[in-house]
Amino acid sequence: MGIIPSTGATIPQRRLGIECAHKFGDCVLNTGLIREASTRYGCKIGVAVRDLYADAFIGNPHIDEIVRIHNMGEGPAAFKKLGYKSSHIATQNIRFFEFKAHGEHSLIDTPLMVGKGMGLREFNHKPELFLSQAEIESVSAVKDSRPIIAIESVFTSGQSWATPDCFSLIVDKLQSTHKILWLSNQGAPNGSNIDNMLRFSRRQVIAALRHVDVFFSVGSGFFCSTLGLDRSSQPKKIVCLWNDDMYRYKDRLNELKWHPDITWCLNREAFLDALCNIKS
């Protein structure tokens, strides 16, 4: 029997499972839904996730169990086996395309649509990521007297239109005046002002983004993670170098204002304009 929204008293003994089993950024985007479900129903949430992305939920106070699954869609069966009373699939790569089939839909609002199916009315679905003090302190050395740039590589996202020479242009223009954090798993250029971040975990890299002045994003989980940080901890400016035809982030995020300064470069010309506006 499914959970009925509470109109007053909460029932802590109810166990509710939510599958969030796509990639890291999609998992982070569902944390607002998890928070609302936990608050509304008076219980912590079990989350089913593929092992590679379970770190999206570490330290989340609204979660009491992380259930590892191998494939998207396996969550309900896993929860049933563990004795959960009710479960729902919030996995973006399943639900987004389901909702989009019935009209234009932003990936950002997928948690809201899932919430409606759970009996939750409109709610603040801003994501949240809980970094530990140890993770924050582990990257304190990246701080610098110079402004800091962070660069994702085109190799990490299928959404990006950018080519490797775009990143070369950023480096050529800014490496003498800025410290550059290179977030990609390949292609880091040589240079005394370039910090290859491969020595850090994904969560540590996100902690390092707290010190960044301009973050050049190609649309990976790091972008979604910055939306889950507190306003005072977000990179000061984000420059997006990716297409928005499918997932419709741009207009919706401009409305929600989860970050105060996002520049959307949908093509090379817009990128070159944005780069010119960054003082070297």
Neighbours of 265 (CB within 10 A): 21
The stretch 207-214 carries a mean pLDDT of: 98
**pLDDT one-digit tens code per residue, 114-144:** 999 999 989 999 999 999 999 999 999 999 9
Q: Which residue from 234, 231, 244 is spatially nearest to 270, judged by alpha carbons?
A: 244
Q: What pLDDT does 12 receive?
A: 44
DSSP state of 152: -
**pLDDT one-digit tens code per residue, 212-240:** 999 999 988 999 999 999 999 999 999 99
When pLDDT is cut at 50, 70 and 90, the band that residue 1 belongs to is very low
Secondary structure of residue 165 in the 3-state scheme? helix
Return the CATH number of the domain spanning residue range 133-276. Answer: 3.40.50.2000
- Return d(Cα 9, Cα 91) in angstroms, integer: 29
**pLDDT one-digit tens code per residue, 148-202:** 999 987 555 678 999 889 999 999 999 999 999 999 877 788 888 999 999 999 9
Q: What pLDDT does 279 receive?
A: 84
CB–CB of 146/175 below 8 Å? no
Res 69 pLDDT > 60 = yes
- Domain 16-117 matches domain 133-276 at the CATH topology level: yes
Kindly list the domain boundaries of the chain, sorted by start residue. 16-117, 133-276
In the structure, how many helices (H) and strands (E) does the chain have? Answer: 11, 10
- Return d(Cα 207, Cα 141) in angstroms, integer: 12
Architecture of the 16-117 domain: 3-Layer(aba) Sandwich (3.40)
Q: Token pair for residue 124?
A: 């603040």
